[in-house]
Amino acid sequence: MGTLSYGLENKVVVVTGASRGIGLEIARLLIAQDARVVIRGRKPEGLAAAEDELQGGDNLLAIAARRAAPFMGVYGIARAGIEMMTRVIAQELAPFNVQINAVAPCMVRTRVSEPFWSNPDIYEQVVKTIPMGRIAEPADVAQPALFLCSPGANFITGQTLTVDGGATAV
């Protein structure tokens, strides 16, 4: 069985948080689809490592974002801000046929969330809230992101796709 083609050849896609975890997996799949990928992150050293790992050649561009604070800040507020930013920028760029969408995953098995999923007690509590009975893997989030970048999503903009194994459905 062959790999599904999303028709992303030469399409330009910006992936934030792409130095590791979900963003890195999304960038990897986009490059495999011949998309032109711009990766962004807070730390130049993380982006340099991602650039080395991805080996995207001319299809990859990595410039780090500024570091806002020595700590991560209030994560929930940041996520809400990203959803609103997605809607606002989508409205601004829609006349130019530019689609802006986001994904909102539940807990994903990444290095950032390792303190939670590696602790059996916490993991069990989290999994109880997810009808599919497990946390997500990076590819579980990256595949829907590919769809949002594809021609199949040409009339979808300003949306945040929840990828949570049904957690918000209950």
Q: How far is CA 22 from the centre of its chain?
A: 5
Rounded to an integer, what distance in angstroms lies between the CA atom of residue 139 and that of residue 115? 20
Place of tokens 């829609």: 94
Other Cβ atoms closer than 10 A to 110: 21
SS3 36: strand
Beta-bridged to residue 61, according to DSSP, are 38
Residues 6+ apart with CB under 8 A from 116: 107, 122, 123, 126
75 as an active site residue: the answer is: yes
| The residue type at 145 | A
Of 71, 75, 96, 155, the catalytic one is 75
Active site residues: 75
